[in-house]
Amino acid sequence: MSEKKIVEERSLILNRRSFLGKAAMGVGGIGLASLLGTNLFRKGENGLYTADSGPAGVKGVLDSLHHPSKIKRVIYLFQSGGPSQLELFDYKPLLNQRRGEDLPESIRNGQRLTGMTSGQDKFPLVGSNFEFQRHGKNGTYISDLLPYTAKMVDDICIVKSMYTEAINHDPAVTFFQTGSQQPGRPSIGSWLSYGLGSENENLPAFTVLLSRGSGRPNGQPLYTRLWGNGFLHSLHQGVQFRAAKDPVLYLNDPKGTTADVKRSMLDKLAELNDQHYQESNDPEIQSRIAQYEMAYRMQTSVPDVMNTEGEPDYIYKMYGSDAKIPGTFAANCLLARRLAEKDVRFIQLYHMGWDQHDNLPGAIQKQAKDVDQASAALIADLKQRGMLEDTLVVWGGEFGRTNYSQGLLTDTTYGRDHHPRCFTMWMAGGGIKPGIVYGETDEFGYNITQNPVHVHDFQATMLHQLGIDHEKFTYKYQGRRFRLTDVEGHVIKDILS
Amino acid sequence: MIQLGIQIGHLHPLFVHLPIGIIMMAFLLEVYSRFIAKKSIDEVIEFTLLIAGATAILSLGTGWLLGEESGYDEDSLFLHRWMAVSFTVTTMLLYFVKRSKITWVSKSYVPLFLIVLGLISLTGHFGGNMTHGEDYLFVEEKEELVITNIQEAQVYAQVIQPILDNKCVSCHNANKAKGGLLMSTPNEILKGGDSGSLLDTISGHEQTLFLERVHLPLENDDHMPPKGKVQLTDNEKVLLEWWIANKNCFECKVNELPTEGKLAAILTSLEQDTSALAVLAKEAVEIPKEWLQNVRAAGIPVQKLSGKNHLLAVNMASMDAITEDKLEVLEEYAPNIIEMDFGFSNFNDELMSQLKPFKNLLKLKLQHTQVTDAIADDLADFELLESLNLYGTAVTDKLVIELKKNKKLQSIYLWNTGVSTDGLAQLQTNNPGLTIQQIGADVFEATILDPPTIISDVSFFSDHLTISIESLFEGTEIYYTIDGSTPTEASLKYDTEITLQTTANVKAIAVKKEWKPSVIAERTFIKNNIAYNNVDLLTVPNEKYAGQKGKTLMDQKRGSINFVDGNWLGFEGKHLNAIVELKEQNKISKVSIGALSAPASWIFYPKAFVVSASKDGVNFKEIGRKEMGEENPNAEVKLTFFDLDVTPTDAKYVKLQIQSPLKNPAWHTDPGGKSWIFIDEVVLN
């Protein structure tokens, strides 16, 4: 869009606004307080704030939920890189029996391959090097790599029939987070921040925590756009909390700034910004004013939430002693629980290092150890606090891994390539049936035989639990109404209690 | 003034009928003029069209403002609005066409008029749908099928037929009999369609045609319902299978057929929702918006459960100034409130007695508040209560035993309270349907303590080195050894810094009460007091991995698994030969070389190495040799020191011949390809 066009579009906003809104308030009367607290800007293309959506904080655009929600918040433990379902959840003894045999073409059935194995002339089947045992009331198979998850199996719902369309990391992660393989759409957390707003006026509705896995410590990085706001207001982008002296970058005041100075600086700045808004009508300016205010409040709320010194020893015994080391997955799980207690709506964790193309048995042991106890502890902790009933915890990666070995296959080692046709995720908490396994794969662990669940189905279900009908929750942009689930997605009713 | 806009918008219904009537009038006049050709009528028609256009603009304007009010179905609004725009524009156009004297323009008059009529019909239809509801025009007599007792329900009429009506009949009915099949009545179903009977098992097939079609893959053209239509759910499929397996009985009641396991649950789910939530939702009276606004203005966050009912949830968690007055504000609509959260607030026993009016509470959260056993009597009044959170409060067995009066209680949270194991057991006996949300004490019993950290900036030293050991946790005891033996609780206990005099393999464990001891932390510190002048490389390393040339081998810096870090010398398909010139003659008794193995990167440990000594740099004598052999199949990245005790010899020059395997082993993905060796350090003692 050319600069001229943008200005024209904005003046259109101005024209309508000046009739509906501005005249009512009196020119120049739109102070900060009214911006944040009143109903000046009703639901519209840029629907930032509406009145009837609960307590203070950034208000959501939805006037009321589409149906009663089961959950208030989501903790998404994203396992980046694509964990091998065959070593963790999907028990396939046939692959051990036929180890080394070529994958039958009737099973592969023309599946497209990544550039990493397309040159391979054989696809030798390989089963898990790790044993599986039955656990819980329903005798669910869980790998020995996940002893703690196994103990919590009666509280989680394992979906073995996830599938996606992407076969490479970035498109696949983007697909999960935004509903589209191409970058540019808002992330789930941004959608929720936009729709439901924040319940805590001192913290953003969408926070992000990253950790590096020990399975593949130098694996590929993640891009910040994965928690980006896309075409929504930048107010809704995810805020990354880092494991460092400044958990949120550029949040702290420069040395020598007093609270008074800061406050009056912000007030003056807001005045100037508001003046600019009167002229240009760029809605991003409203976002900016609100962000300054949020940052101001976060100066006290963030250190408060990040300071885990008060956590008793028995908490560390649950999450594992790694939780003492900032930046580990365990430490992030503990922080996730603390953020959840503060009513942060969408808490996104990313644990990297699951992309085990070679030496998988060695790497996955370390990687599983990174996450197993802390994931289980998070569920246990939330459960005992009474928070699991209104929190959805999700565990899973962007795709699965192949049932054949990539590269070297020996008695002790093998690798696995990306596999989009089936993989496993688990969910726990609010309104999800606990202790069940949903969906089945064939005995080769290559294709789904029962109850396939597409990425969009998963997203639709998550929104459903939050009280949102994924088909009605849209945002109009460039002449089209966009939704998280694009034009697809069905709520998986079978796993809802 | 916003309101004014909406107010003007509210005039839309008044204006909206004008263009409809006037355009119809224009049309009738046009027809009339075809019979009685009078010039004057044309003028009247022109005027009528002009007025139609004007009133259309008026309707459009008011309609646009009205549309800004929320609450309309986005899709209908979109259609209605833009249809109206098209109608207005076309009507104006029609007026000018009517006036036009150009022949080809005049010719388009009649078709354009018909388009205008079409547009007004559609605009009106969508507008009508928005005001009166979609089903206003075509009223469907739908009998609300309510199953109150599933056991007594008719299998076909109440369970199966509704499924067919929803998913099949839209294509298989008297108006649209796809495949010659009708599915509205038992007779039609029995009769079947072009492909034969639905319910008889065909010879050679395992199942009936009906189920066969249902179970075909979605992509199959014969799959029913076809791709793109609303599919049968898994539960519905189970019910259909059950019905057909029981001879597709049209007259049976549910309790006359076997119902086991999953089926029973599915059937029960068909019963009318009699949950407390559903009942309360039905009873709840509407709450005025002003009241909600006032409550929120008083600083009490209340939230409507959804747009579909009038139930409320109150969230006063973490507030430190909850007072009786605040609770009183809520009393007017107390029956609408089904959820209250006072967690981490100043809530206490006195405030509890103020909750009496909130008799419909289903969920009460009192975690981390001041409440005590004294609330037992008040709790008993909440007959509907389903979930109670008392985590982190001072309540004891006394309270939970009283809970037997709360018969509807489904979940309770008693973690970190004064309730004993016996109390929990008693509670479970009293309230058998209750789930005590607690994790078994043994789940996280076996947590292993983090290994201690052995702290030192360097790994090499020439005289002595002071190191320290730390643990993350307070109250931890650390035990260590420096000779490479496994540390136990009988080993040396760490309490202050350790000073090393010789090369040492330090191992340490952390031990803490109630935790499993940590795994062993290990670090090697190497004493290396033989100074050197120069390292002369006889073979040339690959230029990408040449580090500081020979110096790299004696710089006392270890390489990392990231082998481009500059601390490694890499040799592709060749051996490493070098001569170290010492500062002065020394007695050499031990030689260690540091090497890397990363088969996935074509890097392997050396096969062997030979050490020779000389006093003059010309005549070398072999003083030791170590054979490492070929590596076993693996794909790990690892590094190690290979140590060799040599015949103690005085030397000024030491020659090293480190032998590469040269080629990848047979088990490698590229067998026979040129392999690499990577060496970072040579230590002489």
B233 touches chain A (CB under 8 A): yes
Q: pLDDT at position B187, please?
A: 86
Across-strand partners of B177? B172
Give Cα A83 to chain centroid, integer Å: 16
pLDDT digits (tens, 9 = 90+) for B335-394: 999 999 999 999 999 999 999 999 999 999 999 999 999 999 999 999 999 999 999 999
3-state secondary structure of B675: coil
3-state secondary structure of B680: strand
Chain A, residues 170-209, CB within 8 A of chain B, namely 199
Contacts of B477 (CB under 8 A, 6+ apart): B489, B493, B494, B510, B511, B512
On whether the CB atoms of residues B338 and B360 are closer than 8 A, the answer is yes
Q: pLDDT at position B296, please?
A: 87
On whether the CB atoms of residues A446 and A425 are closer than 8 A, the answer is no
Dist CA A471 CA B19 (whole Å): 35
| Residue A317 to residue B303, Cβ atoms within 8 A | no
Which residues in chain A touch residue B291, judged by CB atoms under 8 angstroms apart? none
Q: Which of A24, A65, A322 sits opposite B450 (nearest CB)?
A: A322
Paired sense of beta strands A132-135 and B453-455, if any = unpaired
Average pLDDT along chain A? 86
Q: Which two tokens stand for residue A301?
A: 């709320």
Chain A, residues 300-339, CB within 8 A of chain B, namely 313, 316-318, 320-322, 324-325
Which residues in chain B touch residue A68, judged by CB atoms under 8 angstroms apart? 277, 305-306, 308-309, 311
Q: pLDDT at position A20, please?
A: 45
Amino acid at A317: K
Cβ of A22: how many Cβ atoms within 10 Å? 20
Across-strand partners of A408? none
Nearest chain A CA: its distance from B450 CA (Å)? 5
B441 touches chain A (CB under 8 A): no
Q: CA of B411: which chain A residue's CA is closest?
A: A386
3-state secondary structure of B263: helix
Q: pLDDT at position B144, please?
A: 57
Cis peptide bond upstream of B633, omega within 30: no
Q: Which two tokens stand for residue B112?
A: 């354009």
Residue A17 has pLDDT above 50, yes or no: no
Which residues in chain A touch residue B519, judged by CB atoms under 8 angstroms apart? none
Residue A240 has pLDDT above 80, yes or no: yes
Contacts of B646 (CB under 8 A, 6+ apart): B588, B589, B590, B591, B611, B613, B623, B624
Angle CA(A321)–CA(A324)–CA(A325) in degrees, nearest 5?
Answer: 110
- Pick from A303, A486, A15, A355: nearest CA to B64: A15
In chain B, where the domains are located: 2-132, 150-268, 278-436, 453-527, 532-684
Which residues in chain A touch residue B393, judged by CB atoms under 8 angstroms apart? none
SS3 for chain A is CCHHHHHHHHHHHHHHHHHHHHHHHCCCCCCHHHHHHCCCCCCCCCCCCCCCCCCCCCECCCCCCCCCCCCCEEEEEEECCCCCHHHHCCCCHHHHHCCCCECCHHHHCCCCCCCCCCCCCCCEECCCCCCEEEECCCCEEEECCCHHHHHCHHHEEEEEEEECCCCCHHHHHHHHHHCCCCCCCCCHHHHHHHHHECCCCCCCCEEEEEECCCCCCCCCCCCHHHHCCCCCCHHHCCEECCCCCCCCCCCCCCCCCCHHHHHHHHHHHHHHHHHHHHHHCCHHHHHHHHHHHHHHHHHHHHHHHHCCCCCCHHHHHHHCHHHHCCCCHHHHHHHHHHHHHCCCCEEEEEECCCCCCCCHHHHHHHHHHHHHHHHHHHHHHHHHHCCHHHEEEEEECCCEEEEEECCCCCCCCCCEEEECCCEEEEEEECCECCCCEECEECCCCCCEEECCEEHHHHHHHHHHHCCCCCCCCCEEECCEEECCCCCCCCCCHHHEC
Dist CA B174 CA B197 (whole Å): 18
Residue A50 has pLDDT above 60, yes or no: no
A413 touches chain B (CB under 8 A): yes
Q: pLDDT at position B579, please?
A: 93
The DSSP H or E segment spanning B203 is none
Output phi, psi for A314, to 5 deg.
-65, -20
User: By mean pLDDT, which of A143-157, A263-277, B266-280 is the weakest?
Assistant: B266-280
For residue A122, the number of C-alpha atoms closer than 13 Å in the C-beta half-sphere is 12
Across-strand partners of B532? B582
Paired sense of beta strands B302-304 and B312-315, if any = antiparallel
Over range A428-453, report the average pLDDT.
Answer: 95
Model pTM score: 0.76
Tell which phi-psi region holds residue A435, choosing left (phi > 0), alpha (psi between -120 and 50) or beta.
left
Dist CA A294 CA A282 (whole Å): 19
Longest dimension (CA), chain B: 134
Paired sense of beta strands B411-413 and B435-436, if any = parallel
Dist CA B362 CA B359 (whole Å): 9
Dist CA B389 CA B366 (whole Å): 6
Paired sense of beta strands B504-511 and A206-211, if any = unpaired
Dist CA A57 CA A204 (whole Å): 9
Output phi, psi for A30, to 5 deg.
-85, 85
Which residues in chain A touch residue B472, judged by CB atoms under 8 angstroms apart? 321, 324-325
The DSSP H or E segment spanning B17 is helix B12-35
A410 touches chain B (CB under 8 A): yes
End-to-end CA distance of chain B: 92
| Residue B473 to residue A313, Cβ atoms within 8 A | yes
Q: pLDDT at position A91, please?
A: 97
* Architecture of the B278-436 domain: Alpha-Beta Horseshoe (3.80)
Looking at mean pLDDT, say which of A185-189, A266-270, B310-314, B318-322 comes out highest.
Answer: A185-189
Amino acid at B89: V
Residues of chain B with pLDDT under 50: none
Angle CA(A8)–CA(A14)–CA(A18) in degrees, nearest 5?
Answer: 155
Question: Could you give the C-alpha distances from A236 to A189, A207, A302, B100, in angstroms and in order?
Answer: 8, 10, 17, 55
ipTM: 0.81
Q: CA of B66: which chain A residue's CA is closest?
A: A20
With 0-12 CB in 10 A as exposed, 13-18 as middle and 19+ as buried, what is B60? buried
Nearest chain B CA: its distance from A216 CA (Å)? 11
Q: pLDDT at position A25, please?
A: 42
For residue B153, the number of C-alpha atoms closer than 13 Å in the C-beta half-sphere is 20
Question: Given 1.10.3470, 2.10.109, 2.60.40, 1.10.599, which CATH number is that of B453-527?
Answer: 2.60.40
Q: CA of A25: which chain B residue's CA is closest?
A: B1
Question: Could you give the C-alpha distances from B142 to B162, B183, B466, in angstroms and in order?
Answer: 11, 18, 87
B450 touches chain A (CB under 8 A): yes
* Architecture of the B532-684 domain: Sandwich (2.60)
Angle CA(B449)–CA(B451)–CA(B454) in degrees, nearest 5?
Answer: 150
- Pick from A422, A420, A445: nearest CA to A103: A445
Q: Which residue has the tokens 């939050």?
A: A466
| Radius of gyration, CA atoms only, chain B | 44
| Residue B306 to residue A467, Cβ atoms within 8 A | yes
User: Residue A24 — pLDDT band, cuts 50, 70, 90?
Assistant: very low
Q: pLDDT at position B2, please?
A: 59
Q: Which two tokens stand for residue A237?
A: 């982008």
Question: Could you give the C-alpha distances from B670 to A86, A408, B165, B600, in angstroms and in order?
Answer: 27, 10, 64, 10
Which residues in chain B touch residue A52, judged by CB atoms under 8 angstroms apart? 289, 292
Share of chain A above pLDDT 90, in %: 62
B629 touches chain A (CB under 8 A): no
B141 touches chain A (CB under 8 A): no
Give Cα A447 to chain centroid, integer Å: 26
Residue A12 has pLDDT above 70, yes or no: no
SS3 for A266-302 is HHHHHHHHHHHHHHHCCHHHHHHHHHHHHHHHHHHHH
The DSSP H or E segment spanning B606 is none
Tell which phi-psi region holds residue B547, choosing left (phi > 0), alpha (psi between -120 and 50) or beta.
left
pLDDT digits (tens, 9 = 90+) for B123-168: 988 888 777 766 566 655 555 567 778 888 888 888 898 888 888 8
A131 touches chain B (CB under 8 A): no
Contacts of B328 (CB under 8 A, 6+ apart): B354
Residue A142 has pLDDT above 60, yes or no: yes
pLDDT digits (tens, 9 = 90+) for A192-216: 999 998 888 889 999 999 999 988 8
Cβ of B636: how many Cβ atoms within 10 Å? 16
Give Cα A203 to chain centroid, integer Å: 17
Nearest chain A CA: its distance from B449 CA (Å)? 6
Q: CA of B344: which chain A residue's CA is closest?
A: A341
Q: CA of B4: which chain A residue's CA is closest?
A: A20
Q: Delineate the domains of chain A, giving CATH numbers in brackets.
A: 75-252+302-495 (3.40.720)
pLDDT digits (tens, 9 = 90+) for A324-368: 999 999 999 999 999 999 999 999 999 999 999 988 999 999 999
pLDDT digits (tens, 9 = 90+) for A81-126: 999 999 999 999 999 999 999 999 999 888 888 888 888 888 999 9
Cβ of B273: how many Cβ atoms within 10 Å? 10
Which residues in chain B touch residue A304, judged by CB atoms under 8 angstroms apart? none
Residue A170 has pLDDT above 90, yes or no: yes
Q: pLDDT at position B510, please?
A: 95
User: Could you tell me where the DSSP H helices lie in B355-482?
Assistant: 376-380, 397-402, 421-430
